[in-house]
Structure 1
Amino acid sequence: MCGILFSIQDRNVEPTENFAPTWSTLQELNSRRGPSAQNSHNVALNHPSTDSLDPSSWSNNVDMTFYGAVLHLRGDNVTRQPHVSSAGNVLLWNGEIFDGIAVDHHENDGRVLMDQLEAISTRCHGAHDDHRQEFLSLMAKIEGPYAFVYFHAHSQSVYFGRDCLGRRSLLWHKSDQENSTIGLPFILTSTGYSAFRSELLQLGEVPADGIYSLSLASTSPKAIARHPWVPASSSRAKEHGTMTLPFGRVNSTIPKDSELSAPFADGLKFDLAHPDVVPAITEDMKDAITGMIKVLGDSVRRRVQDIPRTGLVHDARVGILFSGGLDCLCLAAMADKFLPEGEAIDLLNVGFENPRSVKAKAAEEALALRRLKKKQGVTESSLSDSTGGDKVNDEKLRSAKPDTRFNVPDRTTGYESLAELRKISPRRHWNFVEVNVPYEEATAQRSEILERIAPLETVMDLSIAMAFWFASRGIGFIKNEQGELTPYTSQAKVLLSGLGADEQLGGYSRHKDQFTAAGWEGLIHELQLDLDRISTRNLGRDDRIISDHGKEARYPFLSTNVVQFLSELRVDLKVDLRYPRGVGEKILLRHVARELGFDRASSHWKRAVQFGARTAKMTDSGRSEIGQQVVDRTAAK
């Protein structure tokens, strides 16, 4: 994980007095992503001057600044960036290469990539079109999340972009005719802050629909060009200036009746009262289970095996954003297979004090107490004396009760799943970290978290981001051998997330709605839509939030190898919504969970993090808030 920051300035345009503090703030924010090392590099291009302020005349006198902050997660030693070659080429790299290009576990992947780029540059010296196509082909080979900026000196071209799934954040500030005189003509940054704080920055997420380029040669127009990702089946797949997607479209085959299991044969009851009832497993499903375990296991292995140890021997190097649900539980079991037996794994489970929920629960308890007294024929007055003894006893009783403010739904399922983990892997030291967030602390950090998700700003974005920000910070409690909570801070720099499972395996209620309305065709269409838009929904936001603590999120379900495997599967082998909730959605992963030894957790339902951790609608004023509404910033102050 790294923080990368890049700017192009026209020396004919005098920067405003706001440029220096803006740049300084962006450097500070990016350095939080990469606490291991920071460095910068400047490049000046000189061309005949013009008097125009139009962005298309940037060719006159251009200054470029490259700033990189590094979180050491690859290689034996910390490798600073930007990577600069003797030919003047410069690379800012925020990514991980897990496959596609060979990287030894002793090597830094950014350095390896730079060597590959240098080989292309030498081989194609002077042939700019050939260089561009070889460069794009190399980037398309990489399996792993990335965002980058690359300056090729000979062609005077800047390339930048994100991987095809958008797993790393990259924001841009683009100048136009109206604001080209502000001194910030073009900026790329891993993270930023909102326009609410700055009149200068108008940041947007760089789309993950291709690699972008900008020629700074004096004879070239300065328009940004896009080199798109295209499916292998597309007629454009071999077209010059494109990149082929590493996975195909969702399998559109409608299952035949003969291929489907009979969900209600022999009077089987699929409900919470019968968790031991399992849908029939066909031969096709057996193959799918075996294949899923293999491809997902390989994805997890590549993401946990080479993390350098920077702390004490017993410190966990890997943490899991752990709600106790199906996705994260399977990831935990697979991480267990590929980490040394004596090493701890941190399970980060977050719970918020939600005043509305606490108030509602207190009201329920009071009502239950009144009903009990009434049933026993005891009046309120008979339990009280002139000294108010009943009130005193009630207060003593409340003070003696354990603190239940953080007993959110995800805490309950988290402990249930922990018990199953300890059963299948008793020698592993599982650190179940209770990240408890009082309402006052959540309120105090709200403004900062809102800045980290910029340019996103909806109520739903904020609710989800709050859960991930506090969970990834890793400050909480673990239980000692006596069952007492003791303070604990996770040192794990790599956090595994189950994001991507619901989108590909039909875990959302909208998948059920589409199946009900339009059958298998509607379900397939919705799964394809989820895959098409996954880069625009959550990933950039989550990357900015989690990396704010110098941590890196890794998404095993979004390995392009896993995506390819699932895209090829027939739809009913992934999700069969003829079955009821807790059975049919993500049916493949439920079978995988049972294969791994998780009988109880295999029937867990999907629960959105904002409801499982109770960050949604934390006050009565939030009752009218809708997820896609813009956050009321006056409440964030």
Structure 2
Amino acid sequence: MCGILFGIHPSDIQGRPMPDAYASTWSELQLLNARRGPSAQDVHQLTVSNVNAHDAACDLTFYGAVLHLRGDTVARQPHVSTAGNILLWNGEIFDGIAVDHHQNDGQVLMSLLESISEVHSGTPSDADHTNAFLEIMSKIEGPYAFVYYHATSQRLFFGRDCLGRRSLLWHKEKQGEHGLELPFLLTSVGYSSFRSDLMPLDEVPADGIYCMSLKTGTNEKTLSHFPWIPSSAVVDRLSYNISLGMPLPFGKVNDTLPTPDQLPEPFPEDLKFNSAHPEVVPKMTKDMEQAVADMIEVLGDSVRRRVQDIPRTGLIHDARVGILFSGGLDCLCLAALADRFLPEGEAIDLLNVGFENPRSEKAKAAEEALALKRLKKQQQISQKKGSNSSNSSQGSNTTSVETPVTVSSSKFNVPDRMTGYESLAELRRIAPNRHWNFVEVNIPFEEATAQRYEILERIAPLETVMDLSIAMAFWFASRGIGHIKDAEGKISPYTSQAKVLLSGLGADEQLGGYSRHKDHFEAASWKGLIHELQLDLDRISTRNLGRDDRIISDHGKEARYPFLSTNVVRFLSNLPVHLKVDLRYPRGVGEKILLRNVARALGFERASTHWKRAVQFGARTAKMTESGRSEIGQQVVDRRAAE
């Protein structure tokens, strides 16, 4: 994982100094990107001019900050070839292109790009090079954002992977008659729109690869786009038509409706209930048994590729991998699979975050006070009934009554903490030889408030109340500062050194884990459910992946999403809908039914019945004050409240 930053502006050799706003923006972005890549930082600059003396020249600046996670040694960025080609790479190649575990994937990619540059260097048209370039990029399985300058054609390519798993923001001026006006910026991370002194930024859509030609003799540069298209639209995957774009590595959601004979019988009437019972599960069909086995294989391979070959920087027993661990179904399955592919003596950090929520604590205290009052009244009534009707009854009224009160042991025992404890016990039962560091990340209200504005800066350009509450949980969890308990219950301070964090994001979108999936099923049966699953897959790149990448990488950590491996997405897209989700069953049974069966196959019984709880409610970052009760998730955060 890296921080990449690119800028282009009219060259000062023509007597035009760099604009003040551009200079201050670049300085700020360089500092922010350095936080993503603490291992090494470097910069490369060049001036591009054209043949004719009157053509406008422009200055290009490439900056790379590296977090060393691949290869034996740190590979500094930007990658610059002898031919003058330049690559900024923020990504991971897990499949599609062979990368030995001793190699750095950015260097491997650069070598491939150099080979096609040499082959097509003498062609009169840029089309052949573009076709070859798009072919290489479409082979990559893994998250990425990149910037690539091809010197011979004076073209700049940039973009994000088809699922948008890595952040990339841009500043582009209005598009004039001849193209985009300069200056132009690309960056992994930005700042809030509240910063009126800096140039505004927006997310680059994860809808294809963009190409800017620098050949034009003006300060306006043409911008073309090669979109991701359904793979069915490309007849020959190895023969690209650049007017079409690149084929998606997965197809549409299987829209075949299940027939009655494919569905197991629903629960008998006497077993109908509104929530899960661990001892009552739907009958497994042969198709479901095969789907479970296949899911364990494909998801396991995705986890393996994401946890193997991470460079070791500490002692043998130190954790290289952490898991954003709510105790829910998704992260628990990832933990069990990660256990299969990491050395037995190595720890895995389970990062579980809980926030002090004054509003929730106040409501809980009021409930406990009311319960205590009722209990005292009941005991007084019982005493009166049990006493004799005598002159001594007056004395009995003065007898003091001691009532034991059961209160929460900690203000940080949020729902995800309690689920985490429960799931940890099951995890230790099925994997007793693994050292599981259950890291309790406890965030007092004052600390959450103090970091609120900084977190708002990191999630930009997304700035809604819901974005902020989710980002707060991920920012503090990925920071990894908390404590752990040993077998005797002794508490010790602990800071996670794991640079790779696994996340279960993508499971709910593909396996029907949200309540709205239930709503669509009830409204339009299987057809409505399939439509909503397809919509989730189509918009996943625009929702929260860029935000989460910016938040987690702020601590020099990298998020990896095994459920969003394109191999997993392809497998789940092809699978008939009833094998993924069956919403005829109650909550905790029917949603994500495939993953629940996977969990049972991995040895989890109790945890297989857990249902979806949004992170902002599980960690209690939502509506932390009375004034926040009226906040709506999609409204923009009040700047004054954030400060």
Q: Tell me the TM-score normalised to structure 2 length.
A: 0.92
Of 46, 53, 77, the residue aligned with 2:73 is: 77
Closer/same/farther in 2, CA of residues 50 and 401 from structure 1, 3 Å limit = farther
Separation in 2 of the partners of 1:147 and 1:79? Answer: 17
Of 189, 199, 202, the residue aligned with 2:200 is: 202
Q: Which amino acid aligns with 2:426?
A: E
Contact 1:194-1:201 at 8 Å conserved across structures = no
SS of the equivalent of 2:102 reads coil
Contact 1:299-1:556 at 8 Å conserved across structures = yes
Separation in 2 of the partners of 1:560 and 1:413? Answer: 30
SS of the equivalent of 1:42 reads strand
2:484 matches 1:485: no
Contact 2:329-2:596 at 8 Å conserved across structures = yes
SS of the equivalent of 1:223 reads strand
The C-alpha deviation readout for 1:121-145, integer Å capped at 9, x for no partner, is 0111133110001000100000000
Of 239, 259, 263, the residue aligned with 2:262 is: 259
The C-alpha deviation readout for 1:246-286, integer Å capped at 9, x for no partner, is 00000010011111111124844455573111101111111
Separation in 1 of the partners of 2:375 and 2:205? Answer: 60
State the Cα distance separating 1:235 from its structure 2 match: 6.1
2:465 matches 1:438: no
Comparing 367-376 with 588-597, which one deviates more in the overlay?
367-376
Give the aligned partner of residue 287 of structure 2: 284
State the Cα distance separating 1:18 from its structure 2 match: 3.5
Question: Where does the alignment leave 5 or more consecutive residues of structure 2 unmatched?
Answer: 384-394
Q: Which amino acid aligns with 2:43?
A: S
2:121 matches 1:125: yes
Give the aligned partner of residue 312 of structure 1: 315
Comparing 14-23 with 545-554, which one deviates more in the overlay?
14-23
State the Cα distance separating 1:524 from its structure 2 match: 0.5
Give the aligned partner of residue 10 of structure 1: 10
Once the two structures are aligned, what percentage of the paired residues are identical? Answer: 72
SS of the equivalent of 2:20 reads coil
Give the aligned partner of residue 229 of structure 2: 230
Query: RMSD value over aligned CA atoms?
Result: 2.4
Contact 1:174-1:187 at 8 Å conserved across structures = yes
State the Cα distance separating 1:556 from its structure 2 match: 0.1
State the Cα distance separating 1:46 from its structure 2 match: 1.8
Give the aligned partner of residue 513 of structure 1: 519
SS of the equivalent of 2:121 reads coil
Separation in 1 of the partners of 2:213 and 2:254? Answer: 39
Separation in 2 of the partners of 1:204 and 1:7? Answer: 15
The C-alpha deviation readout for 1:508-553, integer Å capped at 9, x for no partner, is 0111111111111111110000000000001000000000000000
Comparing 60-69 with 231-240, which one deviates more in the overlay?
231-240
State the Cα distance separating 1:199 from its structure 2 match: 3.6
Q: How does 1:180-199 map to 2 (within 5 A)?
A: 185-199=183-197
2:244 matches 1:239: no
Of 580, 583, 586, the residue aligned with 2:592 is: 586
Separation in 2 of the partners of 1:325 and 1:384? Answer: 51
State the Cα distance separating 1:619 from its structure 2 match: 0.5
2:618 matches 1:612: yes
Closer/same/farther in 2, CA of residues 50 and 122 from structure 1, 3 Å limit = closer
State the Cα distance separating 1:14 from its structure 2 match: 3.0
State the Cα distance separating 1:372 from its structure 2 match: 1.7
Separation in 2 of the partners of 1:457 and 1:318? Answer: 30
Closer/same/farther in 2, CA of residues 402 and 571 from structure 1, 3 Å limit = closer
Q: How does 1:446-485 map to 2 (within 5 A)?
A: 446-485=452-491
SS of the equivalent of 1:376 reads helix
Separation in 2 of the partners of 1:43 and 1:101? Answer: 30
Give the aligned partner of residue 55 of structure 1: none
Give the aligned partner of residue 56 of structure 1: none
Contact 1:88-1:153 at 8 Å conserved across structures = yes
Comparing 500-509 with 259-268, which one deviates more in the overlay?
259-268
Separation in 1 of the partners of 2:26 and 2:571? Answer: 43
Q: Which amino acid aligns with 2:87?
A: L
The C-alpha deviation readout for 1:424-449, integer Å capped at 9, x for no partner, is 00110000000000000000000000
Give the aligned partner of residue 352 of structure 1: 355
Separation in 2 of the partners of 1:200 and 1:82? Answer: 25
2:65 matches 1:65: no
Contact 1:270-1:277 at 8 Å conserved across structures = no
Give the aligned partner of residue 581 of structure 2: 575
Q: Which amino acid aligns with 2:508?
A: D
Separation in 2 of the partners of 1:365 and 1:266? Answer: 37
Q: Which amino acid aligns with 1:317?
A: R
Q: Which amino acid aligns with 1:246?
A: P
Q: Which amino acid aligns with 1:229?
A: W
Contact 1:48-1:60 at 8 Å conserved across structures = no
Separation in 1 of the partners of 2:56 and 2:174? Answer: 17
Q: How does 1:315-464 map to 2 (within 5 A)?
A: 315-377=318-380, 403-464=409-470
Contact 2:226-2:242 at 8 Å conserved across structures = no
Comparing 193-202 with 615-624, which one deviates more in the overlay?
193-202
2:300 matches 1:294: no
Q: Which amino acid aligns with 2:373?
A: R
Separation in 1 of the partners of 2:19 and 2:230? Answer: 44
Separation in 1 of the partners of 2:278 and 2:407? Answer: 32
Contact 2:506-2:561 at 8 Å conserved across structures = yes
Separation in 2 of the partners of 1:228 and 1:273? Answer: 43
Separation in 1 of the partners of 2:584 and 2:444? Answer: 41
Q: Tell me the TM-score normalised to structure 1 length.
A: 0.93
Give the aligned partner of residue 167 of structure 1: 165
SS of the equivalent of 1:431 reads strand
Contact 1:126-1:154 at 8 Å conserved across structures = no
Separation in 1 of the partners of 2:339 and 2:66? Answer: 27
The C-alpha deviation readout for 1:150-175, integer Å capped at 9, x for no partner, is 00000000000000000000000002
Separation in 1 of the partners of 2:242 and 2:61? Answer: 30
Contact 1:194-1:455 at 8 Å conserved across structures = yes
Separation in 1 of the partners of 2:515 and 2:353? Answer: 24
SS of the equivalent of 1:224 reads strand
Of 107, 114, 117, the residue aligned with 1:111 is: 107
Closer/same/farther in 2, CA of residues 466 and 79 from structure 1, 3 Å limit = same
SS of the equivalent of 1:544 reads helix
Of 564, 570, 578, the residue aligned with 2:570 is: 564
State the Cα distance separating 1:402 from its structure 2 match: 6.9
Separation in 2 of the partners of 1:422 and 1:294? Answer: 22
Q: Which amino acid aligns with 1:3?
A: G
Contact 1:346-1:433 at 8 Å conserved across structures = yes
Separation in 1 of the partners of 2:46 and 2:589? Answer: 58
Separation in 1 of the partners of 2:374 and 2:193? Answer: 54
Separation in 2 of the partners of 1:401 and 1:520? Answer: 45
State the Cα distance separating 1:39 from its structure 2 match: 0.2
Q: Which amino acid aligns with 1:119?
A: S
Closer/same/farther in 2, CA of residues 273 and 259 from structure 1, 3 Å limit = closer
Give the aligned partner of residue 390 of structure 2: none
Separation in 2 of the partners of 1:600 and 1:195? Answer: 45
Separation in 1 of the partners of 2:462 and 2:160? Answer: 18
Contact 2:320-2:500 at 8 Å conserved across structures = yes
Comparing 231-240 with 490-499, which one deviates more in the overlay?
231-240
Q: Which amino acid aligns with 1:424?
A: I
SS of the equivalent of 1:212 reads strand
State the Cα distance separating 1:198 from its structure 2 match: 3.1
Closer/same/farther in 2, CA of residues 636 and 353 from structure 1, 3 Å limit = same
Q: Which amino acid aligns with 2:154?
A: Q
Closer/same/farther in 2, CA of residues 402 and 286 from structure 1, 3 Å limit = closer
Q: State the number of aligned residues.
A: 618
